[in-house]
Amino acid sequence: MFIEIFCQFVERVGFKRHVFRLQVSHLVLFGFKAKKKRIIAIYRNQINNDDHFWLIVRDGVIILSRRLKECQEYMTPEERIIGLIAHKKLDRIPVFPFVSAASAQVRRLDYGEYARKPDIFLRCQIEAQQLIGYDAITAMPDLCVEAQAFGAKIVYPSDNAAYPDPFNPVLKSPDDYKDIGKLFTWDRAERMNNQLEVIRTIRKELPGLMVGGFTIGPMGLISRLRNINELVRDFVHHPDLLHEACEIITEIQLEYVEKQLEAGARTIMVPVVLAEREVMSKEMWEELDAPYQKRIADFVAKKGGIYAVHICGRDPYFDLLIKWLHPLLIQNAHLPDGIKTEEEMIEKYSRKLLFLGYLSVNQLAWMNPTEIMNECKREIEVFGKARSGYFLGASCEYPPYAPLYNAMAVVKAARVYGANFKAGEGANCEEE
C-alpha cells in the first residue's frame, strides 16, 4: 500500500512511476519504513512541493547506505580539488558526475526549454548541485553554444540535446571556409554571452565550488557548421582551406576562453574527440587538429587555468594528448590506444596526468544505487592509487534521462569509500 501511495505521489509531481518503483523497493528493504508516515501525510495533504519530493529522494539514498560511515567534510569543493592536484590529504575524494542536461529534472522541464532559456538553465544547474552535492560544475547546456554564434540554426528537441539543423548547414561548400570569420560577431553570440553570465552567477551563488568553462575546439565547431560527410571529404581534398578556417576559429575560441576565465571559471574543458582510433589516424589528428588544440591548451595554462581534456570514444590517443596538450587531467570512457587493462593504464600514465571519471553512462542510467556505490568503491580502490590522483565521476555527461538518485549515490560513495583520500595512496575509510 505504501509503495503504491508513494508512486501516486511521484506521479502527482510529474514523474513516471516506473523510474522510482525499484528505488522504493530498496528504501523499504533498508529501513525506509520509518519515513512512511511523513510521506503519506505529504500525499494526503496534497503538498506538491519540489523540496519535499527531492528531500524524500535524497533521504532515500542516505537510508540506502545507513550502515556505512560517512567522512566528516572540512574542505570546500575548490580546496578539495586543488588539494588533490597538490597531493595533499583530503577529507574525501573529489566527485564530478557531470550533471548537465539531467539537471532539467529538478524543475521537471523538457530539454528544449532548459537549453533555450539561460535563466532556467542557470537555476537548474545551481539547484542540482545544491541537491546532490558534487564538487564541480562545467556550465554548458549542449555542444551548440558556439555554433549559434556562427549562424547555425539550432534545433531544440524536447527529449534530447540541441543540435544544428542538418538540412541547412552554415558551410555549404569548401569555398565558405574562407569567409568563416565574417560569420561571427560578439553581438550575435547570444548563447556564448549567456554562458559568461552563467559562470559569473554560479561563482557568486556557490562560492567555494569549482566552476568550469568549456569550448568545443575548432574542428568540433566546424563539424557543427558543415555536413559531416562533406567535412570528411574536405579532410582529404581541401586540407588547406580547413587549416585556414581553424586558424580563424581558434583565435575566436581563445577570446572566449579568456572571457570565461575572467568571469570566474577555474578550469576549461575541451572535448578532443577526434584524437581516438575509431575516428581518425594518429597522423591525421596531428596534422589537422593537434596544432590548434595545443594553442588552446597553452593559452589556458598561460592564464593560470586548469586545462582538462574530455574524450569518450574508444582507443583515445593518450600518448599524443600528453605530447601535444599536456593536460592536467583527462576524462575518458575507454582504455587508451594500445592499453589492455586498467592496471596497465595506471602504470603507464598515472605519473603524467590525473584521471577523471570512468563511470560509464550506461551504468549511471541503468544500475540501481547499490550497484553504483559498489562500482564507485571498486574504482576508488583501483584508480585511487594512481600517482597523480583520481577524481571520481562520470566518463561523459550524465545521461539526461538517468535518475538523479544515481548521481546522489556517486556523491554518497565518495563520502563513504573515499574518506581521507590522498593521491598515490588512495582512501582510508572505515565501515561501522
The domains of the chain are located at: 1-64, 70-417
Please indicate, yes or no, whether the overall pTM of this predicted structure exceeds 0.75.
yes
| Residue type for position 417 | Y
Contact 103, 407 (CB under 8 A): no
Return the SS3 of 271: strand
Q: Please give the grid coordinates belonging to residue 155.
A: 534545433
Model pLDDT for residues 353-407, shown as the tens digit of each residue: 999 989 999 999 999 888 999 999 999 999 999 999 999 999 999 998 899 989 9
pLDDT value for 273: 87
Q: What is the spatial distance between Cα 133 and Cα 411, in angstroms, rounded to a whole number?
A: 7
pLDDT value for 161: 86
Res. 82: pLDDT tops 90 = yes
pLDDT value for 401: 86
Contact 399, 363 (CB under 8 A): no
CATH number of 70-417: 3.20.20.210
pLDDT value for 32: 41
Residue range 125-133: mean pLDDT, rounded: 94
Model pLDDT for residues 190-234, shown as the tens digit of each residue: 999 999 999 999 999 999 999 999 999 999 999 999 999 999 999
Residue range 146-158: mean pLDDT, rounded: 95
Query: What's the whole-number average pLDDT of the chain?
Result: 86
* Integer CA distances (angstroms), 147 to 7, 117, 424, in order: 41, 17, 41
Q: Which band of pLDDT confidence, cut at 50, 70 and 90, is reported for residue 67? A: low
Res. 40: pLDDT tops 90 = no
Return the SS3 of 302: helix
DSSP secondary structure code for residue 131 in this structure: H
